[in-house]
Structure 1
Amino acid sequence: MKTINKTIALTILAGLSILASCNPSASDHKMTDKDTVNNQQNNAAMNGKKDAVDVSDWPERPRLAVKEMTAKYGAPAEVSSEAIIWHNAGPYKRIMVTKKEIPHDFPAPHMDFLENTVSYNVPIDKIDDLVAFDASMTINKTQGEMSARCDLEGHNVLTLNLARDIINGTKTVAQARQAFGENVVADFGGKHPAYVDQLQFTPPTDNVLFPDKPIIPGAAMRDVPNTEGTDAEVLAFVNAVNVNEILAAAEAQKKKISGPVMDYAKMLQTEHGANMMKTAQLGQSINTTPSITKAVDAVMKKGAGELATLIPLDGKDFETAYLDAMIKGHTEALDMIDNQLLKTAKNEALKQHITDTRQHVAMHLDQAKKLKDNS
């Protein structure tokens, strides 16, 4: 009798790829009160126009998924030619439907194009097991995300439920794979398994991020309390300036600019890179880890914002704007050194390092002005 049942199950599995898009599981139809709220919020974001997303040129199956997700969760938050995305819909952190279909043969041939993501801090030693269970799973450890990718929401729900069993040690990889096939057969047989109908856990919202830790000697730390106005912050300020100049110099070297300005950019990257290493080594020698405070982060953000304005430019236009930015940036760096860092620093070795750094910054400013005058 067991042999007969196995044969029947395998026969059903072989036909699932035909049925997959026309016989969705119960979880593809159920809507909770939370779903309704998210539906209303998403619709409001796009003026309630559920038909605003044009997927007429998409393949049939992804197009169907977009229609299903829109009907259940409301209008998406992001729309591009290749992907449609919902945020904070139902129990999910994110839902994504892609135009591109990826062939996937577990547990039976189908196409992957629907991804459901939940917040979850997956233990590092379980990540390989989850991929071995279902190669379509993706784990973003840093963001604390666990994603399942398939052709039906219910089967992604099944993947996430079984993944949690693996994480908790209640199922092995082999047992989870077997259970997946059995649940899919039951689902298509109209039995509505609980593992397919809905998540059997509430995705956590706290303590799921994993920022990891620095491995570069002397690297800074972030969010260290009570480091404002300390040598730790001063060290981080110095390297914030270094990073901004290095990134700008690296971008300049991609552009079609004159030889002298190209040489200037290369020099800046080399010298600020060397200063970054000296700053890190100094921090180690004085037993002070640089601390990225909100003020330090603001300096780095400012540099990124100013560099963003240069990116679209090239040739003479970039060269002119780059030199203007270097004059402005190094002038501001000198002001920070004179009126903030030298006054705040307490360690004598750190004060000397800042003084040495100031000499280089002043030289860089003079060179930028000369290049500007000769351009």
Structure 2
Amino acid sequence: MKKVIKILAVFLMAVMGMYSCNTADPDNKTTSGDTMNSIQNDAAMDNKTGMPDLTGWPERPRLAVKEMFVKYGAPVEVSSEAIVWHNEGPFKRIMVTRKEVPHDFPIPHMDFLEHTISYNVPIDKIDDIVAFDASTTINKTQGEMSARCDLEGHNILTHNLAVDIINGTKTVEQARVAFGDIVKLDFGGKHPPYVEELQFTPPTGNVLFPDKPIVAGSPMREVPGTEGTDAEVLSFVLAVDVNEILAAAEAQKKKIGQPVMDYAKMLHTVHGDNMAKTIQVGQSIKVTPSDTKAVDELKKKGAGELAMLIPLDGKEFETAYLDAMIKGHTEALSMIDSKLLTTAKNDALKAHLTETRKHVSMHLEQAKKLKDDKK
């Protein structure tokens, strides 16, 4: 009897695999009658429940969206290519993609449903997890592990077996064999626990992995107690340089006149050199730059101002860019005079600030002249 059940389970797996991976119609086309019924049904659900508009979506992803909607409610992100839920059940994120990707482990099916959990996978286990199931992805920096399949239960199974590998209770090969065996039980109606729910609790604390700088002398992130110190002063100078470098790099992509182009190239080079010198000063005085909250605000301010320039081109960009350089260098001079020079304690750092000020002042005058020449 057990042998008959096993044969039946394998048969069901094959049938499900053929259903999931039917490639007779690569464009996911249906008959006109089926399409019309689907559109009508989806439109009705849109009007009554807030279900995302799934018109034109392939059948399997459309099914997954409806299953997730019934279980978790309305998604928080909807686009033409993906629908996403956040923080539902034990999952950090659930995503259904319109695109289906063929995947033959443990049986042929299509990947389009992804479940992400918070988990800081040890670096020495990442290769093992991918070898176990290539549809599993690890974002070490964000502390995430994602399983991708066609069924929620099988994504849960993937996570459970991945954690077994991480904990050392299963090898990669043992986990792969277990996946197939458990899927057979699942298709046989046995409701195996590894498919029903996570057998562990994803961490709720900090699982981020910011890594560490490889460039010697790089700033550290907001070290407590470094406000108003030489460490913060160094970071302020670096932030000014970075803001100017990014703006100059963007200017060099635009269709602008040669004088402004030459100015942007000069700023890119000089601020790049000053950035390197600032790092060297920090190393020589044995002070590591610290990106305090105030420094980060300066970086964000630079990003916001650059964002205003991005859509522009030609003469319109030239005018806005020169205005931004005049404003930015004026503010940099003010910060050096009223804050950095009065805060800095080390003589070598003060000398570097004085030299930096000369360059900033020169850049300001050049921007003003370029603007006057355009009148």
Partner AA of 1:297 in structure 2: D
Give, in whole Å, the separation in 2 of the partners of 1:228 and 1:50: 52
SS at match of 1:93: strand
Partner AA of 1:246 in structure 2: I
Task: Trace 1:284-299 onto structure 2 (pairs within 5 A).
Answer: 284-299=283-298
Could you tell me the TM-score, scaled by structure 1's length?
0.90
C-alpha contact 1:94 1:118 (8 A) present in aligned 2: yes
1:236 — aligned with what? 235
1:188 — aligned with what? 187
Partner AA of 1:211 in structure 2: P
Question: Compared with structure 1, are the counterparts of its residues 124 and 2 closer, same or farther at alpha carbon in structure 2 (3 Å cutoff)?
Answer: farther
Q: What's the % identity of the aligned pairs?
A: 75
2:15 — aligned with what? 15
Give, in whole Å, the separation in 2 of the partners of 1:2 and 1:360: 83
Partner AA of 1:331 in structure 2: T
C-alpha contact 1:139 1:147 (8 A) present in aligned 2: yes
The alignment of Structure 1 onto Structure 2 pairs a total of residues equal to 350
C-alpha contact 2:13 2:187 (8 A) present in aligned 1: no
1:37 — aligned with what? none
Cα distance, 1:18 vs. partner?
4.1
SS at match of 2:121: coil
Give, in whole Å, the separation in 2 of the partners of 1:186 and 1:195: 11
Give, in whole Å, the separation in 2 of the partners of 1:181 and 1:246: 54
Could you give the per-residue CA deviations for residues 160-202 of structure 1, whole angstroms, max 9, x where no partner exists?
Answer: 0000000000000000000101111111110000000011111
C-alpha contact 1:50 1:74 (8 A) present in aligned 2: no
Cα distance, 1:55 vs. partner?
1.0
Give, in whole Å, the separation in 1 of the partners of 2:231 and 2:47: 50
C-alpha contact 2:232 2:295 (8 A) present in aligned 1: yes
1:211 — aligned with what? 210
C-alpha contact 1:13 1:107 (8 A) present in aligned 2: no
SS at match of 1:88: strand
2:61 — aligned with what? 62
Partner AA of 2:49 in structure 1: K
Task: Trace 1:229-268 onto structure 2 (pairs within 5 A).
Answer: 229-268=228-267
C-alpha contact 1:77 1:86 (8 A) present in aligned 2: yes
Give, in whole Å, the separation in 2 of the partners of 1:347 and 1:8: 79
Cα distance, 1:205 vs. partner?
1.4
C-alpha contact 1:154 1:196 (8 A) present in aligned 2: yes
**Runs (5+) with no aligned partner, structure 1:** 22-46
C-alpha contact 2:20 2:108 (8 A) present in aligned 1: no
Give, in whole Å, the separation in 2 of the partners of 1:76 and 1:189: 32
**Root-mean-square deviation over aligned CA pairs:** 1.9
Give, in whole Å, the separation in 2 of the partners of 1:198 and 1:3: 28
SS at match of 2:102: strand
Of 352-361 and 217-226, deviating more is 217-226
C-alpha contact 1:49 1:75 (8 A) present in aligned 2: no
1:356 — aligned with what? 355
C-alpha contact 1:13 1:181 (8 A) present in aligned 2: no
